[in-house]
Homo-oligomer: A and B are copies of this chain.
Amino acid sequence: MANVSVASVSRALNGHGGVTAETQQRIREVAARLRYVPHSAARSLITRRTHTIGALLPDLHGAFFSELIRGIDLAARARGLHLLVSSSHGDAEEAATALRAMQGRVDGLLVMSPHADESFIEENMPTPTPAVLINIHVPGHRHAVVDIDDRGGARAMVQHLVDHGRRRIVFIAGPEANNDVRERENGYREALEANGLGANQLIINGDFSEESGFRAAQAVLGMNPRPDAIFAANDMMAIGCLSALAEAGVNVPGDIAVGGFDDIPMARYVSPPLSTVRVRIAELGETAMERLAQMIESGEDMVVPPRHMASTELVVRASCGGTAPSRRRHAPNSDA
């Protein structure tokens, strides 16, 4: 239509040069008029690039998931990459199938899955594809890893409690298999030891449910001497604690301070508003995506970059005796 060969069209549209500014202009105009769109399959057949990255995510619901995708999508779009997601896998087999199905359709992989232990990775990861593991703890060094700084967050919370005079701080743990929980527990220990309180470790097991937090708080009330703070491994358990303490007539934070982890939306609406640790989840996704893009661009040399941590942030509200207002707020929250 523009009286040129397909080669010139390719050159003009891709801006590779070797074509007059005038003809390039003409070709572009014709292409726009014809609503011509290059056939991406043909292109990636020869280019061996799909400009797509695959995200293998666990079957999780709620804010965490959407924030993560949001961060990933943002970073991907900024680099002109597309996003192929696969989000709900009940078991490892399903996840493996999804992973295989992405084989060849993507330039790189973002993997976050509870089923993804070392053997799973070794087994199912398409070898030539660059990949970034999100929040997965594997000894191998074949892939980049982006983690949540659970330990640092936990340390910050405990440190804050100590700074405000608390000495007998109970930690309510979560499911043992969970890596985040282990790291949070480690942070709790480290902070105690850093303050010369290593002997005061008090750990109660929970299972992440509100109910287990409720029971844990009841157990705390039976302790002698009575602890002066509870740090739960997640917000739901912390909220369970608040219920139990309220029921027992214990003043929070006067008698016992309470802290959680995650900053779920509800945290600021319970009474008293819950102090907690917020994880910058979108940042986690963005970082992972950027790291992956680097790996793809750098090509074969593939220097595995050092592990990166997504930062956390201490959110001080009334439940830990910090400086936040103790009254329930009715105005919209600026940090919503």
- Chain A interface residues (CB < 8 Å from chain B): 37-42, 44-45, 50, 52, 59-63, 65-67, 69-70, 73-74, 77, 82-88, 98, 100-105, 209-211, 214, 239-240, 243-244, 247, 264-266, 269-270, 328, 330-332
Could you name 18 residue pairs across A and B whose Cβ atoms are closer than 8 Å? A37-B103, A37-B104, A39-B104, A40-B104, A42-B45, A52-B84, A59-B70, A61-B66, A61-B67, A65-B69, A74-B88, A77-B86, A82-B102, A83-B84, A210-B331, A211-B330, A243-B328, A265-B266
A74 to B247 CA separation, bound complex (whole angstroms):
41
Chain B: minimal CB distance from A137 (Å): 24
- In angstroms, Cα B83 to Cα A211, docked, is 36
Q: Establish whether residues A210 and B330, one from each chain, have CB atoms under 8 Å apart when the complex forms.
A: yes
State the oligomeric state as a number of copies: 2
Q: Which residues of B contact A67 (CB under 8 A)?
A: 61
The smallest beta-carbon distance between A46 and chain B, in angstroms, is 9
- A86 near B87 with CB under 8 A, answer no
A37–B100 touching, CB < 8 Å: yes
Q: Which residue of B lies closest to A69 (CB)?
A: B87
Q: A83-B86, A86-B83 are in contact. Are A330 and B214 (CB under 8 A)?
A: yes
